[in-house]
């Protein structure tokens, strides 16, 4: 009996030593994964991270823990992940800010294109261009005519310098060759309040922030910065439909790993994110946030990163923007 027991143990050892057994023994992930978010809780990036962290265990069999590391325009969290071990157990859930910051800050402790391995885009959402009801423009074309007729007179609010609202507006100005003055606020809520009150003329804001104000008639929507009309606001045209090309830029949320993370780990995570993003319940949850599921390949996400970094370098340079 004792000899049979030793034989059984020996067979297990051989199985684990074989290539297939080693793969099983080292299957990824074999422990909880940390999702680092460079923003405070309850913001768009945090919400997307927590939606994803709650869904991925269904596909990967491990827990996902969201860790908020806010500060320096999200750069603290990004730098932390860039310098973490490339083993797949510490990843960054990020937004477009990780590309914007490459253009906005002269000195960063990381390089978005060099120090990260793109995993997958999870979701994307547009910003909506809205104006105060007193502004004599009901279309993008009329707004552009008004801005060109009164250079430096119209102004727009944002949630702060370097935010997606700020950059969307600066891209709009660049493409329309208009002079509209930036008035930064500390957050989306005061930025919108200023538009509603008539303290500023216009702003770009995400759908959850403005949809009730639009329905109540407090502000007038002119266009969406996305590639397609938002499901929650189907009557709002895209910038392209409004006659403006090159100004479509949505806010995306994705997952990055430290550079050097094994490709099989990246592919495993990307496949799980793709399944999670496209599941019926996740589509519904994202729709409630005014967002659309994506679930891209690492190559597709890498292309978006490169294009965004190039775009924001152009916009920041043209506008002479500096980080606060």
Q: Tens digit of pLDDT per residue, the chain (324 long)?
A: 444 544 444 444 444 444 443 443 369 999 999 999 998 887 788 999 999 999 999 999 999 999 999 988 889 999 999 999 999 999 999 999 899 999 999 889 999 999 999 999 999 999 999 999 999 999 999 999 999 999 999 999 998 888 888 999 999 999 999 999 999 988 888 999 999 999 999 999 988 888 999 999 999 999 998 888 988 999 999 999 999 988 878 889 999 999 999 999 999 999 999 999 999 999 999 998 888 999 999 999 999 999 999 999 999 998 888 775
Q: pLDDT at position 324, please?
A: 54
Give residue limits of the domains in the chain: 30-125+250-319, 127-224
Give the domain 30-125+250-319 fold: D-Maltodextrin-Binding Protein; domain 2 (3.40.190)
Q: pLDDT at position 26, please?
A: 64
* Beta pairing class for 127-132 and 202-206: antiparallel
Cβ contact 257:116 at 8 Å = yes
Q: Cis bond leading into 29, ω under 30°? A: yes
Helix (H) or strand (E) holding 258: strand 251-258
* Beta pairing class for 64-68 and 33-37: parallel
Q: pLDDT at position 209, please?
A: 85
Task: Provide φ and ψ at 186, rounded to 5°.
Answer: -95, 70
Other beta carbons less than 10 A from residue 203's beta carbon: 31
Q: pLDDT at position 202, please?
A: 97
Q: What is the pTM of this model?
A: 0.82
Indicate the CATH number for domain 127-224. Answer: 3.40.190.10
Within 135-203, residue ranges assigned H as helices are 140-149, 164-176, 188-197
């Amino acid at each position: 009996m004792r000899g049979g027991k030793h034989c059984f143990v020996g067979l297990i050892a051989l199985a684990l030593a074989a290539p297939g057994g080693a793969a099983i023994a080292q299957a990824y992930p074999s422990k909880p994964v940390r999702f680092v978010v460079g923003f405070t809780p309850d913001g768009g990036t945090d919400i997307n991270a927590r939606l994803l962290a709650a869904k991925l265990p269904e596909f990967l069999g491990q827990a996902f823990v969201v860790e908020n590391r806010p500060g320096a325009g999200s750069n603290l969290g990004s730098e932390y992940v860039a310098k973490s071990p490339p083993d797949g157990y510490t990843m960054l859930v990020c937004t477009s800010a990780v590309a914007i910051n490459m253009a906005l800050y002269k000195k960063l402790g990381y390089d978005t294109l060099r120090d990260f391995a793109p995993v997958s885009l999870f979701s994307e959402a547009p910003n909506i261009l809205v104006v105060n009801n007193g502004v004599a423009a009901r279309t993008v074309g009329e707004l552009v005519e008004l801005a060109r007729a009164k250079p430096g007179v119209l102004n727009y609010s944002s949630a702060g310098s370097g935010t997606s609202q700020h950059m969307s507006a600066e891209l709009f100005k660049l493409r329309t060759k208009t002079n509209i003055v930036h008035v930064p606020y500390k957050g989306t809520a005061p930025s919108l309040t200023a538009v509603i009150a008539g303290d500023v003329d216009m702003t770009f804001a995400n759908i959850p922030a403005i949809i009730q104000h639009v329905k109540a008639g407090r502000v007038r929507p002119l266009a969406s910065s996305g590639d397609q009309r938002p499901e929650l606001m189907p009557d709002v045209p895209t910038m392209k439909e409004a006659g403006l090309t090159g100004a479509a830029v949505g806010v995306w949320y994705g997952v990055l790993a430290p550079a050097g993370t094994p490709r099989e780990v990246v592919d495993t995570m990307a496949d799980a994110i793709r399944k999670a993003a496209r599941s019926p319940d996740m589509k519904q949850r994202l729709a409630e946030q005014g967002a659309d599921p994506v679930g891209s390949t690492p190559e597709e996400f890498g292309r978006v990163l490169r294009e965004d970094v190039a775009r924001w370098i152009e916009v920041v340079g043209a506008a002479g923007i500096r980080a606060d």
